[in-house]
Amino acid sequence: MGGEISHVAVFGPGLMGASLLMALRKKSPHTKLSVWARRNEAADEIVKRGLADAACTDPAKAATGADTVVLCVPVDRIADVARSIAPHIGADTLVTDVGSTKQTIAAKLEEIFSEDKNFIGSHPMCGSEESGLGAARADLYEGALCVVCPTTSSRPELLEKVESLWKTVGGRVAQLSPADHDKAAAATSHAPHIAAAALVALVADEPEAFRALCASGFRDTTRVASGSPELWSAILAANAGETAAALQRLEKILTNYRQAIASGSRDKVAGMLQDAVAQRAKIFPKN
């Protein structure tokens, strides 16, 4: 018994949470929407903008009656919020999240919801360097890859339900285990974030005349470095091992480039760059 999605409770009306509310309002207007926010001001703003039927700062009240709960809070706060609602949800209530890491979250929340086994983790890969309600938009999930991370204890009907949620708001759904997700995210998201921050540091102390040469290529390459330090430090801490391993692989690749350039091996450098062109075309075949 998974049931249809008729009442969604969103915990955390920031970029991801508020965008989900907007998308559900647009694509599933008959779905009842409840919101939990840390501050009364945020809860009032959500109701004022018509993004939910009710909003409050009481987690138990926000969760009661919902058949689907989506935790859209920073990864280091997800477990605490989950504990606060566990006694107040039904046995068939789906609990999912939007966190950028999955192994730690899955381990903690499967323990918290062990009696009814109603947690299945998610990671919609459509964030932004911007954050907060002001950055939310109704099309954030449109065409986005939403990774769902079931485990051996996941209930099939709830897996179907979480996939239905992301498809409803326009997402493309894929499945990975929490471990495979974290390894993949380290290479495709977490290490690249550090690389972008490192590129900013590379020119930060240069003379103003040098920094003036940071044009569109540098801007686009380093865009993600503008993300919230608080949010990203929590993500990196939660996926420290895989991110460190990915950075180690990146260091080796950079060393190969440095050595080829320093030795004057133009053909070798050209070959490495050509390989990057070919590999990127496979990753982004339409770009």
Q: Are 120 and 150 in contact (CB under 8 A)?
A: yes
Task: Quote the pLDDT of residue 2.
Answer: 53
Residues 137 and 24 occupy one common structural domain? yes
Whole-angstrom CA distances from 106 to 48, 123, 126, 129, 159 are 34, 12, 20, 25, 14
Confirm whether 1 is domain-assigned: no
Confirm whether 98 is domain-assigned: yes
Task: Quote the pLDDT of residue 1.
Answer: 44
Residues 222 and 165 occupy one common structural domain? no
Name the residue among 126, 122, 169, 123 with its Cα closest to residue 144.
Answer: 126
Neighbour tally for 25: CB within 10 Å: 16
Instruction: Report, in angstroms and rounded to the nearest whole number, the Rg of the chain calculated over CA atoms.
Output: 21
Residues 14 and 143 occupy one common structural domain? yes
Task: Quote the pLDDT of residue 280.
Answer: 95
Task: Quote the pLDDT of residue 128.
Answer: 72
| Region label for 149, one of left (φ > 0), alpha (ψ between -120 and 50) or beta (otherwise) | beta
Residues 158 and 261 occupy one common structural domain? no
Residues 149 and 260 occupy one common structural domain? no
Residues 77 and 134 occupy one common structural domain? yes
Of 128, 157, 176, which residue sits at a domain end?
A: 176
Residues 172 and 197 occupy one common structural domain? no
pTM comes to 0.91
Task: Quote the pLDDT of residue 127.
Answer: 73
Name the residue among 25, 200, 77, 215 with its Cα closest to residue 129.
Answer: 200
Total domains, the chain = 2
Q: Are 119 and 112 in contact (CB under 8 A)?
A: yes
Q: Is 65 exposed, middle or buried (0-12, 13-18, 19+ CB in 10 A)?
A: middle
Task: Quote the pLDDT of residue 287.
Answer: 57
Of 176, 198, 222, which residue sits at a domain end?
A: 176
Domain containing residue 154: 7-176
Residues 166 and 24 occupy one common structural domain? yes
Task: Quote the pLDDT of residue 134.
Answer: 81
Neighbour tally for 224: CB within 10 Å: 18
Residues 24 and 158 occupy one common structural domain? yes
Of 148, 176, 204, which residue sits at a domain end?
A: 176
Tens of each residue's pLDDT in the chain, 287 residues: 456 899 999 999 999 999 999 999 999 999 999 999 999 999 999 999 999 999 999 999 999 999 999 999 999 999 999 999 999 999 999 999 999 999 999 999 999 999 999 999 999 998 777 778 888 899 999 999 999 999 999 999 999 999 999 999 999 999 999 999 999 999 999 999 999 999 999 999 899 888 889 999 999 999 999 999 999 999 999 999 999 999 999 999 999 999 999 999 999 999 999 999 999 999 999 75
Confirm whether 202 is domain-assigned: yes
Confirm whether 2 is domain-assigned: no
Residues 171 and 92 occupy one common structural domain? yes
Quote the CA–CA distance of 260 and 108 in Å, as a whole number: 46
Chain-centre distance of CA 282, in angstroms?
Answer: 23
Beta bridge partners of 53: none
CATH classification at residue 253: 1.10.3660.10
